[in-house]
């Protein structure tokens, strides 16, 4: 028996500079957008510290989440054979999953997660599954099976991989939105690729999304866009300099939480989190960048010298400088120098190793599936159909190892 | 004797999606950008509550201020006769004024200012003139006369009106940047006009910036862009619904500050401001939207029912609905209805009257000067040279009077 | 009984920079595009002599015709209530009419038409209705009634005005495409407006396309775009200088055709046309800008001095200069001067009066219907709903009267 | 002694959608643009038969030539150290060379050149050096040495390679303009790259233009753009199908010119060229696509069956179909089939082998120099500094071998 899902009273649109409009016709999507847990995403930057180098990168995970929903919707509408391959429940569940995939994100995600043992994926799961959240209630009201189904799609637990593939794979709605969106809001052109060309050349074969041979060039362009965005934007040393200070603030806060908990008296939320390592879904709602930034601004007058100095640097953009790491001796020499200036290297020498793999042609047990191409009626892995991608795969992975420390 | 201003070690650029790049070659500009008071502008939205309706309008006054600087710089470079009309000191002062014109802005400006007696212009003046600010120190180090000169240009006190005209007039760097920028970040195309065409047709005549006749069409387009942005974006009822709640929160806070000051104990900064009506330059630094939003989030659990309800509505986007005001009887009937539902009309019925004048052809004592056109060697006022603008002027001013209240 | 129209074997797309893609799913449209009469439109510039001032305005009526088809298709898809209001035959007929509305266009239309008594509308009718054309045969094969129906829609003879309104009215697919397209290919931004916003706010009321009140701003912007494109592009004096030479070449050719027909021996097509005043559908195929330009290049070596001089000026862009006409005495004085230099004023003094009406609020017997707005459940004429448009209407019509003559 | 070159009376601009404006301040450039030989470039498509597949690719070599001039001008203005490295004469000569580099181009260049023994480079040389051309006269009037110098720069004969490198190398003004321009006019996004980023990271080292290490990503993007444009646009099989018919028409014309010269009586220019194999600079002026297209349209009624059929196919877009060549047997079988249908394989079976090398890391005797990168104070070849480019170089060259023949 198929469930009938309510439609919105009229076709709703939200103006969006990246996709023109976000189109909504399912009532459950409209209600989810209005939920407090989804509105919370307005208080988390999409790109962490990137706005320190590209000053207009101030966009939030709220807009990105709407964008992933819209790309998933466009896929279902435009990829030949996809709409018909999905039941009505699956269609709605995939759209909800696209919208909600980032809902558990904490502030400044990577730096923040490093001090707690619970990652954002786990919170996403909890927010969708625990009955106290508005999101859970909205999903449950629409269809009692929806919360579990949506959570399963997001967390790669759903048995039909096609559903997950739409929102999380090497060619998915998530990446397709963020490349275009981050490109738009930073003002670089590197992330642009031809979304509609890709949608027009995707097909469903053996319950898997694959690319027709005529779409290879568009996919090559998309992979090049990812590569360029990684090195020009996501891994830019200036935002890593900002994030390295963030990281050190959280590290110091954690040390302090046990040693001198009174320092956190004015920041009850932080105190609670740092001492307990995990927070409830209710408290998670308050864990956003507003709370963190306010906390940092208060700590600019803290009695703890390290916190006082690091938060002042962060708020006023007095960032660490950086160098490529060439040897262990170099690190030691920097540590000595930093210490001689009165800084504790535990908080003032930050090592940061980055590598990014453009595209993986094989199917790791936990990793993303390779992109497959329909060539002369057979499915072949992308790098055997594209010389450009083969070139990418043959290279050594590009690496970047830097050390950050105060001037 | 002319002062020599230091140049940056190399030509600096900041990527900006609106202007391509922000170009900096004067060391004093680079240092001002790095000052803590200028960095603070990252924590104030350019468009207040507009992001509640155009979800990507999350850009800050920081980017706008850089943009006004860049447009002023482009004017000096591209307007024939302008560069030569300015002394080196005047050139630098105008660029600093363009960059700093918004530096005193408080959070959610209009709602916020309504509860204190000091407006953002006064804070801008103080931040530039008081020796405790980093901005003052940077300006003073470059040239002892600069702080006063920059403050005078911003506040329309400078005797050479041409300098002020560049950054604050009916055709100025401020408006030219914000129309383009707000258009880009909301995703509407209404605010676009041909900046370079305008720059190429401006001239300096009798120490005044005027438009060549061949530039009239571009100026008409700019005035139309302003008109459209006002009614499509700036005065959109949804952002006014958000701002009416903001306004009521501040109103309640002010009432409470005197009646039940203990409610503000967790928010010392608010308490201080509300009781004293004015803050020091040092405290002003902390008055930003991070602080306010954090305060609102804390007040979601306040013992004061009005504050608890209003802040919950604001944070979770449960906005007031609205109607066009048609009579006084209608307001009374709404008030009665609101009261019958247990709400205090003092905080739950908000009247909001808006009007916007497209362009003023006359020279009011405090108002902006009209735009003048060079036509057959004579200066004429724009509306006598453009039939389109004459049409605008002949109309009654467009008005919009709404009442906002809970559903 | 309803006719079933064949679909293309797959969804066909043509890449188009203005609309992204031209989408074709009806076989009859695909066949019409391939017809020789439609391919001929590639040999006629969309903007006559405009490429003499905006050098990239080299686009043809072929692309514009595809664009009008696409906008009509978008209207049918996106305007609420329109698709359902049309029978399948009407839908196909409107799309064919949109595609074919310009198919009778001659070279350099206005200059060219001035020397023959048959206008391009008449040729459009003939090409669609006469059985010798490929276009007629394709339409007839799809449905015997289609040729007459398509011709009737284009020529305003069809009794259901809604069908014509889609492609020819004050807010139609023709204008909506050309403003966007001419804007793109000239590189000016003046012609841009928000097509999708307009489509989303159109409704079908009493079998008429009307605008919802919320769409007024987008329509104001569209009318402003038309105004700007007229004065910045379409009526630019430099393209009129080019066209005034064209006009004089045709005038001289017509004079010569009767006086010295041997001069046209190398140009049999011209000779035929000029002596007979009308050509067959077969000969019309050859009447394009290639033929004309070739003719002009041959005439650069003609024994007729006027033709030799004028064609050399045209080909090598040695254009006439121009002045605003202020009095009859001025014209006489220019004529005397021109004559004194050895030029015959009949071919060397060209008067050109231009006026453009932005928008007409009344319903002339032959003119376009006014745009109507749905406001509080009633239909009102646009200028009573929009102060901006009212301002346009109240103005005197803008006029431009110039005289062109050799330097 | 340095020559002083005249400036234009005011800063001249031509609106250009690709670069915003073409800026001209040197009188010699302005006069060259107005010359008849330069105006002739309006009558030659930039992309040959590409408009048969991307219907808006109707732009001419005129716009491209202006664009190459503008990019060269931008390089001189923006590449650190370049302006100062050039004498005033060299600056002017490079700009003239950029503007004039394509001035000898014939119609449908590659197909056309295949039937004559003189290529377009030779005509460019002649037009600049022979005193009968307007171009020569303008250059000579500005500076007696200029014609030779400009011709030498274009033809790689000038001893200072830096001058040639600006307009013809693996990273030159020619390619940078055409990628952006062809991308704009076809409507594909593949050709876009960050021109200003490249300009900002170029440097002059050892009298050679090299890229700073920080510019590598922008150069990678540019090389990827070239690759994509080649396979998506320049080598698209549909335009090659069009060009294969063109080629066969010229082949047949050449055969016929000797066998049945009377067939060409109506086309004296063609006759002259085909019999003599070379034309004078005066006749070259008439050799453009207008003349060719007119000739083809006349030949649609020729008594020669092959010419009649092929020109009808070309004009009405009844193109050849194509297949990948897999064996010699396949070609033979196609030839037999074609012959059996009454077609002469000499004109109806066209083999077309294409290969494109993305980037060459070595310095062939006649080929372009490799791109060199300034890395840690040393110059290294691009593919040893960029893993992406190394990947390109390691691949086999992409090949495409097709046979075209009638359906």
Q: Which residues of A touch C196 (CB under 8 A)?
A: 20-21
Rg (CA), chain B: 23
Q: Is residue B157 assigned to a domain?
A: yes
> Is D231 near chain A, with CB under 8 Å?
yes
- Label residue A296 exposed, middle or buried (CB < 10 Å: 0-12, 13-18, 19+): buried
Chain B residues within an 8 Å CB radius of C388: 224, 227, 391-392, 395
**Phi and psi torsions of C41, nearest 5°:** -65, -15
Contact B194, B141 (CB under 8 A): no
> Which of C188, C213, C384, C391 would best serve as a mutation to test chain B binding (most B beta carbons within 10 A)?
C391
User: Which of C194, C217, C396 faces B231 most closely, judged by CB atoms?
Assistant: C217
Give me C244's structure tokens: 């005034």
**Chains in touch with D (≥3 Cβ pairs < 8 A):** A, B, C
B108 vs A46: CA distance, rounded Å: 22
What is the least distance, in Å, from the CA of A96 to any CA of chain C? 25
Is residue A56 within 8 Å of A187, Cβ to Cβ?
yes
Cβ of B55 within 8 Å of Cβ of A14? The answer is yes
Facing residue for B39 by CB, picked from A56, A291, A317? A317
Residue D205 belongs to domain spanning = 7-235
Is the residue at D342 inside a domain?
A: no
> Would an 8 Å CB–CB cutoff place A13 in contact with chain C?
yes
Whole-number pLDDT of residue B131:
96
CA distances for A317 relative to A52, A291, B36, D278, angstroms: 8, 19, 8, 69
Torsion of CA D302, D306, D311, D316, to 10 degrees: 110
Q: Which residues of A touch C20 (CB under 8 A)?
A: 196
Dist CA B350 CA A89 (whole Å): 43
Residue pLDDT, tens place only, C265-280: 877 777 877 887 778 8
Pairing of strands A372-375, A208-212: parallel
CB D28 within 8 A of CB D142: yes
Decide if A7 contacts A17 (C-beta within 8 A): no
Burial class (CB in 10 A: 0-12, 13-18, 19+), D131: exposed
Write out pLDDT tens, residues C319-378. 999 999 999 999 999 999 999 999 999 999 999 888 776 677 765 555 567 899 999 899
Select from D78, D196, D202 the residue whose CB has the most chain B CBs within 10 Å, as the one to mutate to test that interface: D196
CA A290 to chain D, closest CA, distance in angstroms equals: 35
Identify the residue among D268, D316, D319, D407 best suited for mutation to test binding to C, counting C beta carbons within 10 A and taking the highest: D316
Asked if pLDDT for residue C1 goes beyond 60, the answer is no
Structural domains in chain B (count): 1
Between CA B393 and CA C234 the distance in angstroms is 27
Question: Under the phi-then-psi rule, with left for phi > 0, alpha for psi from -120 to 50, and beta for the rest, what region is A291?
Answer: alpha
D193 touches chain A (CB under 8 A): yes
Cβ–Cβ below 8 Å for C39 and D291: no
Q: Copy the structure tokens of residue A383.
A: 């790098």
Residue in A190, A394, A395 nearest the CB of D221: A190
What DSSP element (H or E) covers D16? Answer: strand D7-16
Structure tokens at A119: 């990652």
Going by C-beta distance under 8 Å and a sequence separation of 6 or more, which residues neighbour residue C191? C179, C180, C182, C183, C225, C226, C228, C229, C233
C193: nearest CA partner in chain B: B189
On chain B, the residues whose CB falls within 8 A of the CB of C387 are 395-396, 398
Query: Is B196 within 8 Å of chain D by CB?
Result: yes
Would you call B156 an interface residue with chain C, using a CB distance cutoff of 8 Å? no
Alpha-carbon distances, residue D196 vs A230, A242, B75, C312, D19 (angstroms): 20, 27, 21, 40, 11
Q: SS3 for C47?
A: coil
- Side-by-side strand order, sheet with C321-324: C321-324, C398-405, C350-356
What residues of B are in contact with residue C189 (Cβ under 8 Å)?
Answer: 192-194
Residue B296 φ then ψ, to 5°: -60, -40
- B 330-389 residues inside an 8 A Cβ radius of C: 387-388
- Searching chain A, which residue's CA lies closest to the CA of residue C15? A197
Residue B188 in domain: yes
Q: Which of B391, B395, B397 is the best residue to mutate to test the C interface, defined by the most C CB atoms within 10 Å of its own CB?
A: B391
- Within 8 A of D200 by CB-CB distance, chain B residues are 13
Put simply, whether A184 touches D (Cβ < 8 Å) is no
Partner chains of A (3+ C-beta pairs under 8 Å)? B, C, D
pLDDT tops 70 at residue D363 = no
CB-based contacts of D234: which residues, under 8 Å, 6+ apart?
A: D47, D50, D182
Q: Among candidates B127, B12, B120, B14, which has minimal Cα distance to B67?
A: B14
**D301 interfaces chain C, CB cutoff of 8 Å:** no
Pairwise CA distance, residues D243 & D108, whole Å: 8
CB-based contact (8 Å) between D291 and chain C?
yes
> Which chain D residues are within 8 Å of C286, Cβ to Cβ?
297
Strands (E), D262-377: 321-324, 350-356, 372-375
| C7 Cβ under 8 Å from any chain B Cβ | no
Beta strands in C106-258 (DSSP E): 202-205, 208-212
Distance from CA of A226 to the nearest CA of D (A): 12
Chain B touched by D13 (CB under 8 Å): yes
Identify which of A356, A367, A346, A364 has the alpha carbon closest to the alpha carbon of residue A392: A356
- For D236, the closest chain A residue by CA position comes to A214
Half-sphere exposure of A144 (CA within 13 A, CB side): 0
Neighbours of B253 (CB within 10 A): 25
On chain C, the residues whose CB falls within 8 A of the CB of D34 are: 317
Per-residue pLDDT of chain B (407 residues), as tens digits, is 568 899 999 899 999 999 999 999 999 999 999 999 999 999 999 999 999 999 999 999 999 999 999 999 999 999 999 999 999 999 999 999 999 999 999 898 677 777 776 788 899 999 999 999 999 999 999 999 999 999 999 999 999 999 999 999 999 999 999 999 999 999 998 888 999 999 999 999 999 999 999 999 999 999 999 989 988 999 999 999 999 999 999 999 989 888 888 888 877 777 877 887 778 889 899 989 999 999 999 999 999 999 999 999 999 999 999 999 999 999 999 999 999 999 999 999 999 888 776 677 765 555 567 899 999 899 999 988 988 888 777 776 678 899 999 98
A26 domain-assigned: yes
D134 within some domain: yes
Check A190 against D192: CB less than 8 A apart: no
Q: Do the Cβ atoms of B391 and C392 come within 8 Å?
A: yes
Asked whether B371 and B275 are in contact (CB, 8 A), the reply is no
Mean pLDDT of the region D310-322: 96
Task: Say which of A15, A39, A66 has its CB closest to residue B188.
Answer: A15
What is the ipTM score, two decimals? 0.95
Instruction: Look at A20 and C200 and tell me if their CB atoms are within 8 Å.
Output: no
**A228 contacts D221? CB cut-off 8 A:** yes
Residue C177 CA to chain centroid, in angstroms?
11
> Nearest CA of chain B to the CA of C51: how many Å?
19
φ, ψ for residue C322 (rounded to 5)? -145, 160
CA dihedral C108, C109, C112, C115 (to 10 degrees): -170
D76 interfaces chain C, CB cutoff of 8 Å: no
- If contacts are CB pairs under 8 Å, which of residues 21-40 in chain D contact chain B? 21
* Span D105-137, pLDDT tens digits: 989 867 777 777 678 889 999 999 999 999 999
- The Cα-based distances of C233 to B209, C157, C188, D14 in angstroms read 27, 32, 9, 13
Please give the Cα distance from B318 to B404 (Å, whole number).
Answer: 13
Q: Would C331 be classed as within a structural domain? A: no
pTM of the predicted structure, to 2 decimals = 0.94
Alpha-carbon distance of B5 to B143, in angstroms, equals 8
In a domain, C41, yes or no: yes
**Does the beta carbon of B212 lie under 8 angstroms from any beta carbon of chain D?**
no
Tens-digit pLDDT profile for chain A (407 aa)?
A: 568 899 999 899 999 999 999 999 999 999 999 999 999 999 999 999 999 999 999 999 999 999 999 999 999 999 999 999 999 999 999 999 999 999 999 898 677 777 776 788 899 999 999 999 999 999 999 999 999 999 999 999 999 999 999 999 999 999 999 999 999 999 998 888 999 999 999 999 999 999 999 999 999 999 999 989 988 999 999 999 999 999 999 999 989 888 888 888 877 777 877 887 778 889 899 989 999 999 999 999 999 999 999 999 999 999 999 999 999 999 999 999 999 999 999 999 999 888 776 677 765 555 567 899 999 899 999 988 988 888 777 776 678 899 999 98
In this complex, the residue of C192, C194, C390 whose CB is nearest that of residue B395 is: C390
Q: Is A8 exposed, middle or buried (0-12, 13-18, 19+ CB in 10 A)?
A: middle
pLDDT tens string C231-289:
899 999 999 999 999 999 999 998 988 888 888 887 777 787 788 777 888 989 998 99
Q: Provide DSSP, D10-66.
A: EEEEEEETTTEEEEEEEHHHHHHHHSHHHHGGGGSBTTGGGGGTSTT---BHHHHHH
Contact A345/A333 with Cβ under 8 angstroms? no
CATH of residue C104's domain is: 1.10.3210.10
- The phi-psi region of residue D48 (left if phi > 0; otherwise alpha if psi is between -120 and 50; otherwise beta) is left
Q: Chain D residues with CB inside 8 Å of A394's CB? A: 391, 394
The reply to whether C351 falls in a domain is no
In chain A, the residue whose alpha carbon lies closest to the alpha carbon of D388 is A392
Burial class (CB in 10 A: 0-12, 13-18, 19+), C30: middle
- Report yes or no: A282 at the B interface, CB cutoff 8 Å: no
Mutation target vs A (from B12, B13, B15, B64; most A CBs, 10 A cutoff): B15
Which among D144, D114, D137 is positioned nearest to D38, based on CA atoms? D137
CB nearest D391 (choices: A189, A190, A395): A395
Q: Does A16 contact B187 at a Cβ distance shorter than 8 Å?
A: yes
CB C12 within 8 Å of CB C25: yes
Give contacts of D55 with chain C, Cβ < 8 Å.
Answer: 14, 16, 42, 62-63, 66
The dihedral built from the CA positions of residue A298, A300, A306 and A312, taken in this order, carries a sign that is positive
Q: Could you tell me if B310 and B245 are in contact, meaning their C-beta atoms sit under 8 angstroms apart? A: yes
């Amino acid at each position: 028996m198929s469930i009938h899902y309510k439609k919105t009273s009229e076709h709703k649109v939200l103006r969006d500079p990246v996709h023109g409009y976000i189109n909504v016709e399912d009532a459950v999507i409209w209600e989810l957008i209005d939920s407090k847990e989804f509105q919370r995403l307005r208080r988390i930057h999409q790109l962490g510290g990137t706005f320190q180098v590209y000053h207009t990168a101030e966009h939030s995970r709220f807009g990105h989440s709407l964008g992933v929903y819209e790309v998933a919707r466009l896929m279902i509408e435009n990829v030949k054979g996809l709409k018909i391959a999905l039941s009505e429940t699956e269609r709605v569940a995939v759209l909800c999953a696209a919208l909600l995939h980032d809902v558990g994100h904490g502030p400044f995600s990577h730096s923040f997660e490093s001090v707690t043992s619970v990652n954002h994926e786990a919170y996403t799961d909890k927010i969708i599954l625990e009955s106290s959240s508005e999101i859970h209630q909205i999903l449950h009201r629409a269809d009692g099976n929806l919360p579990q189904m949506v959570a399963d799609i997001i967390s790669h637990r759903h048995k039909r991989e096609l559903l997950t593939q739409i929102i999380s794979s090497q060619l998915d709605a998530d990446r397709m939105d963020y490349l275009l969106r981050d490109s738009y809001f930073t003002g670089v052109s590197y992330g642009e690729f031809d979304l509609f060309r890709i949608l027009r050349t995707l097909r469903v074969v053996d319950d898997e999304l694959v690319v027709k041979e005529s779409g290879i060039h568009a996919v090559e362009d998309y992979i090049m866009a990812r590569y360029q965005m990684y090195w020009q934007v996501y891994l830019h040393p200036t935002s890593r300099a900002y994030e390295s200070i963030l990281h050190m603030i959280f590290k110091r806060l954690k040390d302090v939480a046990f040693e001198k908990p009174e320092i956190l008296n004015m920041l009850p939320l932080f105190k609670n989190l740092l001492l307990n390592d995990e927070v409830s879904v209710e408290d998670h709602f308050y864990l956003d960048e507003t709370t963190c930034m306010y906390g940092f601004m208060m700590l600019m007058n803290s009695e703890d010298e390290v916190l006082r100095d690091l938060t002042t640097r962060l708020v006023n953009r007095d960032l660490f400088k950086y160098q490529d790491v060439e040897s262990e001796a170099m690190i030691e020499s920097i540590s000595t120098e930093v210490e001689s200036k009165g800084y504790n290297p535990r908080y003032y020498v930050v090592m940061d190793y980055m590598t990014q793999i453009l595209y993986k042609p094989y199917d790791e047990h936990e990793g993303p599936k390779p992109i497959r191409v329909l060539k002369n009626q057979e499915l072949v892995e992308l790098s055997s159909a594209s010389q450009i991608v083969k070139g990418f795969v043959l290279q050594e992975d590009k690496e970047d190892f830097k050390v950050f420390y105060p001037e």
